Structure 1
Amino acid sequence: MLTASVACLVTWAGAASAHGSIVDPASRNYGCWQRWGSDFQNPAMAQQDPMCWQAWQADTTAMWNWNGLYRMNLGGNFQAAIPDGQLCSGGHAENGRYSAMDVPGAWKATDVRNNFTIKLWDQAGHGADYLLVYVTKPGFDPTRQAVGWNDLQLLTKTGKYAPGQYYSVNLSTSGRSGRAVVYTIWQASHMDQTFFFCSDVNFTG
């Protein structure tokens, strides 16, 4: 297991070649890093945040590299490249580093209303050709099911974003309540590099 000092070095090394993530509602690995990055060896995590606990145990670097969940050269053919049940890890991106993101369970969820906004933090200023934003369909239970393509409904496909630090997307659903996963695909503009994010939400009406 990494010591705190080594973990700090990993974090700053990653920042030098940073990419980005959905930070609100937080992606699974960004949320785990945000809540536990300064205290990742605390055994209380196992009870307080069990899905983050299993993720930290599976591969600590997935959280230190929360900004690197991407695949190269997919040519927009995402469904062919990423099998059902592996969407949250980008199809076991980075040799399976992020595979724990696919595990169903009681991930911490952000409360949102039927009209809500997502925010992407583009640390490296890659820009975006587009963002695709999906939500799981009513009846999908992320505590028991891994996300598959047929579980999703498209909320929006955006236009281009010039390189910047944050990109926001306003979204609208109707009559939703309870748990869901918001799935965001970020097609970066600097090369054919595609990022994949699962954000757990709880619709409050």
Structure 2
Amino acid sequence: MHTKNDTAGHPRWATRALVLASVPLLGLTALAAPASAHGSIVDPASRNYGCWDRWGADHQNPDMAQEDPMCWQAWQDNPNAMWNWNGLFRENVAGDHRGAIPDGTLCSGGNTEGGRYDSLDAVGEWKTTPVDDDFTVHLYDQASHGADYFQIYVTEEGFDPATQELSWDDLELVEVTGSYAPANDILVDVSTTGRTGHHVVFTIWQASHLDQSYYLCSDVDFG
């Protein structure tokens, strides 16, 4: 159980924000700069953060459709799934995560925010981050909410994110932490074994300032 706060270099969000400020929205009035009140897993990148990190400053590039088709479908479905990469949370779940988030909707937090993040549940070849059996999950918490705890799951060997919908029974709980004091960066060490290829790391971050639960899917490739 991890209770120590760790810090690391900030992700590229600040640089991206400066670039985005100079990019015309070209009529896409639904778009907004990332809010400053929330956060996400930046390594291994959550689906929403990864799409924004790769394409936020280049969102008009048609190459996204071929180079990153899962982010492309997310962009077509609702640009704010990517633009608001730091806002995927539910309130007042009271710890009943499995009861609040139905199978097939884990990566969207159970169709939260009026379906804004539904595209993150799409089955397909999401871009992956290479990891070893022992790896570190890095939360970037813009407002330094802190954490009551983290629960980190990894899909079982044999699960195929490219062809199967993600359900609770596909996951193994590999790490449960204690609390973390408020900080911008929190690192949690994770150990697992017996996995190869594409898997999903599913992180529940229970923020400390309110009963606010974040549900974050990161696609990884075990070498």
The verdict on a shared fold, with TM-score over 0.5 as the criterion, is yes
Quick check: 1:32 aligned with 2:72? no
- Rounded to whole Å, the distance in 2 between the matches of 1:151 and 1:172 is 18
Alignment length, in residue pairs? 199
Counterpart in the other structure of 2:78: 59
Stretch of structure 1 that moved more, 135-144 or 167-176: 167-176
What is the CA distance between 1:24 and its match in structure 2?
A: 0.1
What is the CA distance between 1:175 and its match in structure 2?
A: 2.4
- Rounded to whole Å, the distance in 1 between the matches of 2:212 and 2:218 is 20
TM-score, normalisation: structure 2: 0.86
More helix by share: 1
- Rounded to whole Å, the distance in 1 between the matches of 2:100 and 2:149 is 18
Which SS does the other structure have where 2:32 is aligned?
helix
What is the CA distance between 1:41 and its match in structure 2?
A: 1.4
Percent identical residues: 59
What is the CA distance between 1:176 and its match in structure 2?
A: 1.6
- Rounded to whole Å, the distance in 2 between the matches of 1:40 and 1:89 is 21
CA deviation profile, 1:136-166 (whole Å, cap 9, x unmatched):
0000000011210000000011010000011
After superposition, residues 83-94 of structure 1 pair within 5 angstroms as 83-94=102-113
Structure 2: where are the runs of 5+ without partners?
Answer: 1-21
What is the CA distance between 1:62 and its match in structure 2?
A: 1.2
TM-score, normalisation: structure 1: 0.94
CA deviation profile, 1:88-124 (whole Å, cap 9, x unmatched):
0000110100000000100000010111111000111
Structure 1: where are the runs of 5+ without partners?
Answer: none
After superposition, residues 157-196 of structure 1 pair within 5 angstroms as 157-196=176-215
Counterpart in the other structure of 1:199: 218
Letter in 1 for 2:102: P
- RMSD across aligned positions (CA): 1.5
After superposition, residues 1-205 of structure 1 pair within 5 angstroms as 4-6=23-25, 10-11=32-33, 14-16=34-36, 18-204=37-223
What is the CA distance between 1:173 and its match in structure 2?
A: 1.0
What is the CA distance between 1:4 and its match in structure 2?
A: 3.5
Letter in 1 for 2:35: A
- Rounded to whole Å, the distance in 1 between the matches of 2:161 and 2:178 is 29
- Rounded to whole Å, the distance in 1 between the matches of 2:184 and 2:24 is 28
Counterpart in the other structure of 2:16: none
